[in-house]
Amino acid sequence: MCLNFVSLFPSNSDIFMPSITIMAKLNLKINGEVKEVDVDPSTPVLWVLRDHLNLVGTKYGCGIAQCGACTVHLDGTATRSCMLTVSMVGNSEITTIEGLSENGDHPVQKAWLDVDVPQCGYCQAGQIMTAAALLDKNPNPSDEEIEMAMNGNICRCGTYLRIKKAVKIASENS
């Protein structure tokens, strides 16, 4: 891939503006458990996780699906939770970094520790969730496929090379 002299930003198909403003009780399937929340249905899943369910591993970075810090799995697909309203979730299963593995031993998490990827660490939960979803669908991605999949996740500290290395190790070990 190239240094993009023309600005390139990842497009995201789940961008839409919330419009409903009434409170509602909703049952969400999160990390294998059903959680009842009483929120405005236009609330993004990110803030339901962080403010209502104490699951703060999923991070707020931009609020407009541009940085990937808030990535969760929606039925196994990497999804930006900052623009996914809770009303859109329905019966889908949400997995967060806290639910990725029982003991922090998912192959991606293990590879992240092997390579010692993080600097500040803030974006890493999002990076790991994106990487885990990629490997689930494509267990042996090429360098280019890794770059494409990981391109929506910004790491301000610049740990990209270690991220790529860790994804490859996880691919070999899973």
Partner 1 sequence: MDQIDKHIGRRAFIRNTGLAGGGLIIGFSWLNSCKPKNISTEQALEMPKEWFEINAYIKIGDNGVATIFCPNPEFGQGVMTAMPMIVAEELDISWKDVLVKQAPFNTELYERQFTGGSQGIRRSWEGLRMAGATAKQMLKQAAAEAWQVPVSGITVSDGVLSHEATGKTAGFGEMAAAASNMEVPENVETKAVKDFKIVSHSKKNVEGKQIVTGEPMFGLDYQYEGTLIAMVEHPPAFGLKLKSFDDSEVRNMPGIVDVFQINTYDDNFVRNFFDTNAFPDLVAIVGKTTWEVMNAKKKLKAEWEPITEKKLTFDRFGSISEVTVPSGLESTKKHDELMEKMASQPGEIARKDGDPESAFKNAAKVLERSYSCPFLAHNCMEPMNFFAHVTEEGIKLAGPSQAPSIIESTLASRLDVPAEKIEIEMTRMGGGFGRRAYGHYAIEAALISKQAKAPIKLVYSREDDMTFGIYRPSYQATYRAALDENNNLIAFHVKSGGVPESPLFANRFPAGAVDNYLAEQWVINSNITIGAFRAPRSNFTAGVEQAFLDEVAEAAGKDPIDFRLELLKRVKENPVGEENDYDPDRIAGVLKLVKEKSNWAQTPPGVHRGVSAYFCHNSYAAHVVDVVMDGDQPRVEKVTCAIDCGIVINPDAASLMAEGAIVDGIGNAMYGNMSFTDGKPDHSNFDTYKMIRQNEAPKEIEVHFVQNEIDPTGLGEPPFPPVFGALANALYKATGRRFTKQPFSTDKPPLVG
Q: For residues 96 and 171, which CB has a smaller minimum distance to partner 1 in the complex? A: 96
What minimum distance in Å lies between the beta carbon of 142 and partner 1? 13
**Phi/psi at 14 (5° precision):** -95, 25
What minimum distance in Å lies between the beta carbon of 88 and partner 1? 15
What minimum distance in Å lies between the beta carbon of 135 and partner 1? 15
Place of tokens 């390139």: 8
Burial track 56-69 (b if 16+ CB lie within 10 A, e otherwise): ebbbbbeeebbbbb
Judged by the rule CB under 8 A, the positions of this chain that interact with partner 1 are 1-7, 9, 21, 23, 40, 43-44, 47, 50-52, 54-64, 66-67, 69, 96-98, 103-104, 109, 112-113, 116, 118-125, 128, 146-148, 150-164
- 101: number of CA atoms within 13 Å, CB side? 12
What minimum distance in Å lies between the beta carbon of 5 and partner 1? 5
Q: How far is it, in rounded angstroms, from Cα 161 to Cα 143? A: 11
DSSP E strands, the chain: 24-30, 33-39, 71-74, 77-80, 93-95
What minimum distance in Å lies between the beta carbon of 61 and partner 1? 6
**Dihedral over Cα of 154, 155, 160, 162: its sign:** negative
